[in-house]
Structure 1
Amino acid sequence: MTRLIVWRHGNTDWNATGRVQGQTDVPLNDLGRQQAVDAAELLVRLRPAAIVSSDLRRAADTAAALGALTGLSVRPDERLRERYFGPWQGLLMTEVAAQRPDEYARWTAGADVIGDDIETLDDMGKRMADAFADAAALAPGGTVVVATHGASARQGVLQLLGWPKEQIRTFRALQNCHWVELAHDESRGWQLAAYNVGPFTERPVPPPV
């Protein structure tokens, strides 16, 4: 059985403020870097045989935390980038809703096509599923970790499983530095084993001394 871990990157300042990142190359913030370390300490126990990452810094630096623990090099794959949001990128979601209300309405309704300059769900799902399959082929019978992005991760998982596109609306958003576990064998194909798994995002506050 091959195991594929689809891992969302750690937190960024744009995540924290609700700004649309898309394929803008936004770095991790201090919280995101700590989340990557905390998650890597759990993922290393799965004994990954290969690590593949989006080439955007927030995913690549998340993957590097696991690479440091395993000694594995991280293979970049630009197909694992986030959805391209065109003119939305850099805007707050509140600004998108105010400035581009028709596109925003289509997005909230889960439409495949939002606008001419925004990647469709179908195109994103296909490139992500292809990248996932190629990553899994690096270690048949082993564990492969793929560091990527929230929206693209969900759509790629849906496509890989062969589920109808309407099903995506039943998936909760992946939290930063949480992951999806998929398993594959020859008789059953791809199966969903776990979803939104990861470390606690907030550390407990120590009691006053």
Structure 2
Amino acid sequence: MLYIMRHGKTEWNALHKLQGRTDIPLNDEGKRMARQACEKYKELNIDVCYCSPLVRAVETAQIVLKNRKIPIIEDKRLSEMSFGKYEGIENSLAIPDCPINVIFNQPEKYIESVGGAETFEQLFARTGSFLKEVVEPQIQAGKDILIVGHGAMNSAIICQVKKLPIEEFWSAGIEQCKIIKLI
């Protein structure tokens, strides 16, 4: 089985700031969410957990898998999508004509980088190599894998596994600290 989870809440989530690769830790609510997920998913068989090296994902994985002898392996290919110079911007969707909003409103039209942000092509290349090199062989060997990551990064994995078009990039509606079964 392949499972995926988004990290718990951070202060920047609460303020509706674009985080991207900015390394923001969980806030108290995020830690509480992760503890609740720990209880909710304690019976779920997981052989190995891979996570983004960003602190909010690592903290989430550690709390969710607390007291379980499950290895947590960080992989930089699971880092969140970079939003370039737009990281830290608050409520971008409330700013008319903010260039980064194309990623959220019309992902199929986001072809070239805006403000140094990562492109979908780059995001899909790195997450795709992780799926091919790490996930596929372990799934074939019968392992149950949990990936703890981020909204955009997780969406890229979901799109590739489910073969969704880029227009449906955000369709999974990835909730924080909720496991989604992919395979």
Q: TM-score range by the shorter chain?
A: 0.7 to 0.9
Offset of residue 85 of structure 1: 0.4
Give the counterpart of 2:19 among 15, 21, 30.
21
Cα gap change, 1:95 to 1:151, in 2 (>3 Å): closer
* Structure of higher RCO (CA pairs closer than 8 Å, 6+ residues apart): 2
Q: Does 1:176 align with 2:173?
A: no
- Within 2, Cα distance between the matches of 1:178 and 1:18? 19
- Within 2, Cα distance between the matches of 1:22 and 1:46? 29
Give SS of 2:50's match. Answer: strand
Offset of residue 52 of structure 1: 0.9
Matches within 5 A, 1:69-84: 69-84=67-82
Matches within 5 A, 1:1-209: 3-94=1-92, 97=95, 101=97, 103-107=99-103, 108-110=105-107, 111-113=109-111, 114-115=113-114, 117-133=116-132, 134-135=134-135, 137-138=137-138, 140-169=141-170, 171-183=171-183
Residue-by-residue CA offset, 1:18-74 (whole Å, 9 max, x unaligned): 001000000000010111111122223111010111000000010011332312221
Q: What is the identity percentage for the equivalent residue pairs of Structure 1 and Structure 2?
A: 26
- Are the equivalent residues in 1 in contact too, given 2:57–2:149 (CA < 8 A)? yes
- Within 1, Cα distance between the matches of 2:136 and 2:27? 29
Cα gap change, 1:102 to 1:27, in 2 (>3 Å): closer
What is the Cα-based RMSD across aligned positions, in Å? 2.1
- Within 1, Cα distance between the matches of 2:91 and 2:167? 23
Offset of residue 161 of structure 1: 2.6
Cα gap change, 1:69 to 1:42, in 2 (>3 Å): farther
Give SS of 2:180's match. Answer: strand
Comparing both structures, which one devotes a greater share of its residues to strand?
1
Aligned residue-pair number: 178
TM-score (norm 2): 0.87
Unaligned runs of 5+ in 2: none
TM-score (norm 1): 0.77
- Within 2, Cα distance between the matches of 1:8 and 1:105? 21
